[in-house]
Amino acid sequence: MKNIFRNRLLVFSFVSFAAVAGAVRASAQDTVDSVLHPPKGTQVAIVVFEDLECPMCARMAPLVEQASKTYKIPVVRHDFPLGPAHPWSFQAAVMARYFDTHSKAVGNEFRDYIFANQLEINLQTLRTYAEKFAAAHKIDMPFVLDPGGKLAALVTADHDLGKGIKIEHTPTIYIVSSRNPNRPYVEVKDNSQLYSTIDAVMKE
C-alpha cells in the first residue's frame, strides 16, 4: 500500500513539475517574442544585450546612454555573460541584479561603475569593488548575496532570452519601435552607426 501511495506521489510530482516546466518554457517564449519592442508607453527604445566583462560593451555603454538622452528614449539592458571566456561576468551580473532590488537606477549605475573599472577587476577583486560601490551608496551588502539563487536565475533567463533570438556577441544593440509593425526592430550592425540607425527608425 505504501509503495502504491509512493508511486502515485511520484507520478503526481512528475506531472506537476512537467506542467510548471511547460509554463516556464511558454512564458520564456512569450518573452522572446516580445523582447524586441519598446517598453509600454514608449514608441522607440534601445535594447542592449551586454556582458560586464566585455571591453566593447564598456566602450559602448556611455555612447548608448548619451544617445538615450539625446533622443529622449529609454534603454533596456539585458545580461548576456559570455561564459568561460569572461570568468567574472556572470557574478557581476548577479551583483547588478542585487543593486536592482534597491532601484533600477542604482543597478544601472553599478553596471556603469563596473565598466569604468573593468581593467582592474578580476575574480579576486570583484567583491571588493562591489563593496566599495555599496558603501558609497549606503547599501548593506550581505556576505551571501543570492542565497536562494533568484538573482542568478534572472541572469540565466536573460542569457537564455539572448540565445533564443540568436545573439552571438556583445554588445548586441537593437533600435526597437512600435511605429512600423512590419519592422519592429533594427540591429545596429556597426556601432559607429548608432545615431544614424536611430534616425532611420524614428523617421519610419
Can the peptide bond before residue 171 be classed as cis, meaning omega within 30 degrees of 0? yes
* Whether the predicted pLDDT of 15 surpasses 70: no
Give me the pLDDT at residue 97, please: 98
pLDDT of residue 181 exceeding 80, the answer is: yes
Geometric angle at alpha carbon 29, from 31 and 198, rounded to 5°? 45
Using the CB atoms, write b or e for 134-165: b if 16+ within 10 Å: beeeebebeeeebeeeebbebbbbbbebbeee
Average pLDDT over residues 181-186: 88
- pLDDT, tens digit, 9 for 90 and up, residues 113-140: 999 999 999 999 999 999 999 999 999 9
pTM of the predicted model as reported, rounded to 2 decimal places: 0.82
| Mean pLDDT confidence for 100-118 | 98
Q: Residue 30 pLDDT more than 60?
A: no
User: 78-88: per-residue pLDDT in tens?
Assistant: 999 998 999 99
Mean pLDDT within 33-37: 74
pLDDT of res. 128: 98
Q: How much is the pLDDT for 24? A: 39
Tell me which of 26-40, 61-75, 100-114 is least confident.
26-40
pLDDT tens-digit series, residues 187-203: 999 999 999 999 999 98
Mean predicted lDDT score pLDDT of the chain: 86
Q: Which residue's entry shows cell 508607453?
A: 41
Q: What is the pLDDT of residues 47-80, one digit of tens each?
A: 999 999 999 999 999 999 999 999 999 999 999 9
Measure the CA–CA gap between 116 and 52, rounded to whole angstroms: 10
The alpha carbon torsion through 81, 52, 76, 95 (nearest 10 deg) reads 90
